[in-house]
Amino acid sequence: MTDRRRAMLALALVAPAPTIGIAAALIVWPGPVGRSVFTVAKLWLVIFPGAWFVLVEKGRPGWSPLRKGGSATALIVGIASAAVILAAYRVLGVAAIDPSALRAKAAEMAIATPPAYLLGAAYWIFVNSVIEEYVYRWFVQRQCERLMPVRFAVPASAMIFTLHHVVALATFFNPGITALASLGIFGAGVAWSMLYARYESIWPGWIAHAIADVAVFTCGWWLLF
């Protein structure tokens, strides 16, 4: 199998998983069954890229060290992203988002109390963001780079990253907010992919990603509590 075909197969096996998991948990089977499918999809995202790298690409596992720096740039990108998110919420979100509908969805996800919400936020900020950088920047972007030049691989990987977020957002918000937030997520994905392309490490993207997530969960706190 050629490198291009291997890359296409790898993307076909990993890219749909988060969308399937989100759709199952929030739309098709909300409740225990959907959460089980979501968990399986998440485990697949964690296990498959590393297994593919070792077994198919014959690579050696590592921790994506910060050999080329990038922390300062990542802080600037993250703070700028957080500022945009908070400003967008203050300008548009307060009037456009129905808190009661959001509270109902939060109850379905078992994060409708402050302790549960903070625990969930901590997971998304410190764990899920690492998983997403590992999957979408380290794995998906590298596969895209085998199929196209970097200038196209960056937006392509960002688009794949955005897809499951669109499904999740559509279950919480109206079409206008969903479209605006999806555009913001795509822009963030492009920025984090550029950080990976520049510094060849997932950690600059993670720093910026985690800061942006803090802003997102701050807005969620204001809406729910």
The predicted-structure confidence for 141-179, as pLDDT tens digits, reads as follows 999 999 999 999 999 999 999 999 999 999 888 888 899
Query: How much of the chain exceeds pLDDT 90, in percent?
Result: 73
pLDDT at 104: 83
Q: Which residues of 28-39 are buried (b: 16+ CB within 10 A; e: fewer)?
A: eeeeeebbebbe
**What sign for the dihedral angle of Cα 107, 223, 94, 161?**
negative
Does residue 35 lie within any of the structural domains? no
Domain that holds residue 142: 68-224
Residue 76 has pLDDT above 80, yes or no: yes
Number of domains into which the chain is organized? 1
Q: How far apart are CA 169 and CA 173, in angstroms?
A: 6
Q: How far apart are CA 168 and CA 176, in angstroms?
A: 14
Residue 94 has pLDDT above 80, yes or no: no
DSSP 38-81: HHHHHHHHHHHHHHHHHHTS---------TT--HHHHHHHHHHH
The predicted-structure confidence for 23-53, as pLDDT tens digits, reads as follows 998 888 888 899 899 999 999 999 999 999 9
Mean pLDDT of the chain: 92
Query: How much of the chain exceeds pLDDT 70, in percent?
Result: 99
Six-digit token string for 204: 């600059």
pLDDT at 29: 87
Does residue 37 lie within any of the structural domains? no
- pLDDT, average across residues 181-201: 96
Does residue 2 lie within any of the structural domains? no
pLDDT at 213: 96
Q: Is 15 helix (H, G, I), strand (E, B) or coil?
A: coil
19 vs 102 pLDDT, higher one: 19
- pLDDT, average across residues 66-84: 95
Spatial CB neighbours of 18, under 8 Å, sequence gap ≥ 6 = 41, 42, 45, 163, 164
Does residue 79 lie within any of the structural domains? yes
The closest alpha carbon to 220, from 109, 133, 75, belongs to 109
